[in-house]
Amino acid sequence: MKLSFGLSVIAAALLAVPAIAQDKSLEPVVDAANAINSAAKNSQLTIEKIADTTQERMAQYKQISRQIEGLEVYTMQLEKQLQAQQNEQAELNASIDEVSVVERQITPLMLRMIDALAAFVELDVPFLPTERAERVAGLRDLMDRADVDVSEKFRRVMEAYQIEADYGRNIEAYNGEMDVAGQVQDVEFLRIGRTALIYKTRDGSALGLWNQQQRQWQSLDSSHQSAVQEALRIARKQLAPDLLMLPIFTSELAAGE
């Protein structure tokens, strides 16, 4: 029995030797398989990273493509606006050229209008002589100024004409001085359009009416004093407008004289 047990142990030991040798021969295979698995895992991770990066790049590409499309539309709109501005600039340049021609033509016209206005004031009924003469002189000075636009000069000339036109449609009372019987006195002037220009001394002792046909003052009878005084108060808006009985000179009366 002892001998057989010993033989069994020896047999088992002999059988174990090939198994250990087989395990050692498989280690490189196992290591290689593990290396392959590790490499495959790393490759998978790399592929996943590449896929993520590719998707990110694709999303960026799409976003940039949309931006480019938007910029192309914006650029086309800017080109249209630029073309419109260029057309407008061309029209403005043409208008400026036309304005230059108009300015060269309108300046002599304004000078003639001022000369005509000055002659009219000189020949007109002599009311507000200083104010009207200064207005004409101001227009002449204005025409010599280079810092004033032609449009403003023309506006001022037309304004002066409008003022003169308004004189013929209103009634006015103002104070002034008058040579009465060789003595300068303070008087009240009454202007009714361009139909009548009357003066009255402060104390009411003298009345006068301008005779446009003879271009001189003529004395009025004191019987007109109350009517003249009433007209002065109406002109100063101290009384309501009313029918006035005032003396005037007409062409027929002047011819009869």
Which domain covers residue 255, as residue numbers? 171-257
Residue 245 lies in a domain: yes
Distances (CA, A) of 60 to 46, 64, 69, 155, 226: 21, 6, 14, 64, 100
Q: Tell whether pTM > 0.75.
A: no
d(CA 193, CA 168): 4
What pLDDT does 14 receive?
47
User: Averaging pLDDT over each range in 22-31, 86-95, 129-138, 222-231, which range is the top one?
Assistant: 129-138
Q: Which residue has the higher pLDDT, 11 or 150?
A: 150
What pLDDT does 251 receive?
53
Residue 108 lies in a domain: no
Residue 15 pLDDT more than 70?
Answer: no
Residue 187 lies in a domain: yes
Residue 76 lies in a domain: no
pLDDT per residue as tens digits for the range 31-70:
777 778 787 788 788 887 887 788 888 888 888 888 888 8
Residue 8 pLDDT more than 80?
Answer: no
Residue 45 lies in a domain: no
Number of domains in the chain: 1
DSSP state of 236: T
Nearest to 246 by CA among 180, 197, 204: 197
When mean pLDDT is compared across 20-29, 41-50, 62-71, 177-186, the lowest value belongs to 20-29
Residue 2 pLDDT more than 70?
Answer: no
Sheet harboring 183-192: ordered strands across?
Answer: 171-180, 183-192, 196-201, 207-211, 216-220
Residue 239 lies in a domain: yes
User: Averaging pLDDT over each range in 33-37, 59-63, 83-87, 231-235, which range is the top one?
Assistant: 231-235
pLDDT per residue as tens digits for the range 112-126:
999 999 999 999 999
Residue 256 pLDDT more than 70?
Answer: no
Residue 38 lies in a domain: no
Is residue 204 very low, low, confident or very high in pLDDT (cuts 50, 70, 90)? confident
Residue 124 — φ and ψ, nearest 5°? -80, 175
Is residue 25 very low, low, confident or very high in pLDDT (cuts 50, 70, 90)? low
Give percent of the chain with pLDDT exceeding 70: 84
* Residues making up the chain, counted from first to last: 257
Residue 3 pLDDT more than 60?
Answer: no
Nearest to 143 by CA among 130, 158, 132, 154: 154
**Strands 183-192 vs 216-220: parallel, antiparallel or unpaired:** unpaired
Q: Which residue has the higher pLDDT, 44 or 85?
A: 85
Residue 115 lies in a domain: no
